C-alpha cells in the first residue's frame, strides 16, 4: 500500500507542524482510540469456536445488522470475496430486500447472525423477529443456527441465553462504526473463509507506521478550514463500492457535530467519470479528493490486436485502459489544482483492507481532535430513532401516509 501526498496541496512540513499542536504521538493508544487494541488470541478463539460449530452444518450465513454492524464485513466481503455466495447481508429494513434474501437462501443450510451493539436497534430487532418466527414455522431448531453479537448484558445477550444460542461480545468501549476488528467483522470473515490473520496484520502494519493516517487527517483538516468541506472517495474498482459506504458512515457520523463536518461523497472509477467528474474538475473548488487504484486484479482481459473503432486500444488489456482513465482523472484534477491524496493498492486482499480500515479510523479520530469534536457517538441520529419509536408505540404514521 502506497499513500501519496505530492498532489495534496500542502507541504508535509505543514502537516507535521499542525500535528505537533495536538501532541499526535500520544493519540495512538487504546484510551484515545479503543479500536487500536486489536483482539486477543482468547477473543479470536471464542469467535472461531462459534464459526466452526456453524460450519459443521451450514454453508451460508445471513448477517443481520445496520450501519457499523454490517458495513465493514460487507466491504471486506465485496473486496476480497467478490460477493461469493457464502454471506448474505440484511442491512436495510426494506421488505423487498428481505423477501429477496429469504427466497435465495437454502433454509436447511443457512445460519443467521444478529448484530446490534445495543441489542435494541429497531431495524435489526424487526428483521430478527421475522426470521425467528419463520424458523419456528419451518420447524427448524433455532439455537443451533443463530448467533447474537452485541454489548455484554444487552437484550441480545439475554435472548441468546433464553434460546441457548451463542453470544459474542463487542468490547463496550468500541462503537459500531469502529468495530470491524471485533466479532462484528471477524465472525462473517471467518465464516466466509477469509484470512483473518492477514486482515489483522494489515491493521497492525498501519499502527506500526501510522504517519500516512496522520498526514491524511492533517491534509483533510487544512483543506476543510480552507473551505473544502466535501470529501470525495473514489476507488477505481467496482469491488470497493461497499468500502465507500463504510467510509461515508465513518466520516459523517464521527465529524458531523456542533454545526461542523466534512461531507463524504462517494464515486467509483470509471463509471462516475460519466456522471460527476465534470463537477469535480470544473465545478466549485470545495472538495478534497481521495483516489484509489488497484494494481493487480484477479483477472484481466486483452483486447484484440486490431481493435475496431479505436485502433489505439489494440493489444491493450482492460486493466491498462482503466489505468489510463485513472491517470486522466488525476491529470485533469491537477490541471485545476484540486487537492488529491492517492492510494496505490497492490491488490484487493485481506491485508490491504485491514490497513485501509485502520488508517481511516485513526485519521477520523485525529481529524476530530483537530476540529474539537467528539468522534464517538451519534446523538443527532437518536432524535429520529426516538420519534420513530413514539410513532410505533402510539400506532401513528406521522401524518405522512395518504
Domains and their CATH numbers in the chain = 2-28+210-380 (3.40.50.10490), 34-196 (3.40.50.10490)
CA distance 347 to 313: 24
Grid coordinates representing 338 are 484540486
Q: Which of 49, 109, 172, 385 is catalytic?
A: 385
pTM listed for this prediction: 0.95
Q: Which of 56, 103, 274, 306 is catalytic?
A: 274
Annotated active-site residue 49? The verdict is no
Question: Digits of tens for pLDDT over the chain (402 positions)?
Answer: 999 999 999 999 999 999 999 999 999 999 999 999 999 999 999 999 999 999 999 999 999 999 999 999 999 999 998 666 789 999 999 999 999 999 999 999 999 999 999 999 999 999 999 999 999 999 999 999 999 999 999 999 999 999 999 999 999 999 999 999 999 999 999 999 999 999 999 999 999 999 999 999 999 999 999 999 999 999 999 999 999 999 999 999 999 999 999 999 999 999 999 999 999 999 999 999 999 999 998 889 999 999 999 999 999 999 999 999 999 999 999 999 999 999 999 999 999 999 999 999 999 999 999 999 999 988 887 788 888 888 888 886 665 544
- Find, among 193, 191, 188, the residue nearest to 149 by Cα: 188
Q: What is the CA radius of gyration of the chain?
A: 22
Query: In sequence order, what DSSP letters do the residues of 4-27 get, joined into one string?
Result: E-TTSSS-HHHHHHHHHHTTGGGT
The single residue listed with the C-alpha cell 428481505 is 98
Is residue 88 within 8 A of residue 114, CB to CB? The reply is no
Annotated active-site residue 100? The verdict is no
The single residue listed with the C-alpha cell 498526514 is 215
Query: In sequence order, what DSSP letters do the residues of 270-326 get, joined into one string?
Result: TGGGGTTHHHHHHS-S-EEEEEEEEEE-S---BPPSS-SS-GGGTT-BHHHHHHHHH
Annotated active-site residue 274? The verdict is yes
- H helix or E strand, kind and range, residue 357: helix 350-371
CA distance 282 to 342: 20
Going through 116-171 in order, the beta strands assigned E by DSSP cover 146-150, 167-169
Asked if the peptide bond before residue 10 counts as cis, ω within 30 degrees of 0, the response is no
Q: Which of 253, 266, 316, 369 is catalytic?
A: 253
Amino acid at each position: 500500500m502506497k499513500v501519496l501526498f505530492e498532489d495534496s496541496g500542502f507541504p508535509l512540513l505543514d502537516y507535521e507542524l499542525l500535528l505537533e499542536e495536538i501532541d499526535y504521538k500520544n493519540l495512538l493508544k487504546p484510551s484515545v482510540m479503543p479500536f487500536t487494541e486489536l483482539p486477543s488470541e482468547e477473543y479470536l478463539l471464542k469467535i472461531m469456536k462459534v464459526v466452526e460449530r456453524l460450519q459443521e452444518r451450514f454453508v451460508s450465513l445471513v448477517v443481520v445488522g445496520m450501519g457499523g454492524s454490517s458495513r465493514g464485513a460487507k466491504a471486506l466481503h465485496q473486496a476480497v470475496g467478490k460477493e461469493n455466495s457464502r454471506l448474505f447481508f440484511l442491512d436495510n429494513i426494506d421488505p423487498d430486500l428481505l423477501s429477496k434474501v429469504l427466497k435465495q437462501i437454502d433454509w436447511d443450510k443457512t445460519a443467521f447472525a444478529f448484530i446490534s451493539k445495543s441489542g435494541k436497534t429497531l431495524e435489526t430487532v424487526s428483521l430478527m423477529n421475522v426470521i425467528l418466527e419463520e424458523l419456528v414455522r419451518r420447524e427448524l431448531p433455532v439455537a443451533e443456527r443463530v448467533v447474537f453479537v452485541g454489548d455484554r448484558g444487552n437484550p441480545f445477550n439475554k435472548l441468546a441465553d433464553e434460546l441457548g444460542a451463542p453470544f459474542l461480545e463487542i468490547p463496550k468501549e468500541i462503537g459500531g462504526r469502529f468495530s470491524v476488528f471485533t466479532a462484528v467483522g471477524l465472525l462473517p470473515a471467518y465464516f466466509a473463509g477469509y484470512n483473518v490473520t492477514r486482515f489483522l496484520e494489515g491493521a497492525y502494519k498501519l499502527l506500526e507506521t501510522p504517519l500516512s493516517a496522520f498526514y491524511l487527517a492533517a491534509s483533510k483538516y487544512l483543506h476543510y478550514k480552507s473551505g473544502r468541506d466535501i470529501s470525495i472517495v473514489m476507488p477505481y474498482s467496482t469491488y470497493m463500492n461497499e468500502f465507500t459506504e463504510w467510509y461515508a458512515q465513518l466520516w459523517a457520523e464521527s465529524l458531523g457535530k456542533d454545526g461542523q463536518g466534512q461531507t463524504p461523497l462517494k464515486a467509483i472509477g470509471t463509471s462516475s467519470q460519466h456522471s460527476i467528474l465534470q463537477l469535480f474538475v470544473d465545478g466549485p473548488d470545495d472538495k478534497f479528493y481521495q483516489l484509489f487504484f488497484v494494481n493487480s486484479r484477479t483477472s484481466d482481459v486483452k483486447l484484440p490486436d486490431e481493435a475496431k473503432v479505436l485502433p489505439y486500444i489494440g493489444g491493450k488489456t482492460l486493466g491498462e485502459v482503466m489505468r489510463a482513465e485513472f491517470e486522466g482523472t488525476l491529470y485533469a484534477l491537477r490541471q485545476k489544482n484540486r487537492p488529491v491524496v492517492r492510494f496505490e493498492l497492490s491488490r484487493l486482499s485481506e491485508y490491504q483492507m485491514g490497513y485501509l480500515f485502520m488508517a481511516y479510523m485513526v485519521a477520523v479520530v485525529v481529524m476530530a481532535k483537530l476540529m474539537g469534536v467528539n468522534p464517538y457517538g451519534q446523538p443527532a441520529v437518536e432524535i429520529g430513532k426516538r420519534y420513530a419509536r413514539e410513532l410505533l408505540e402510539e400506532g401513528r404514521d406521522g401524518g405522512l401516509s395518504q
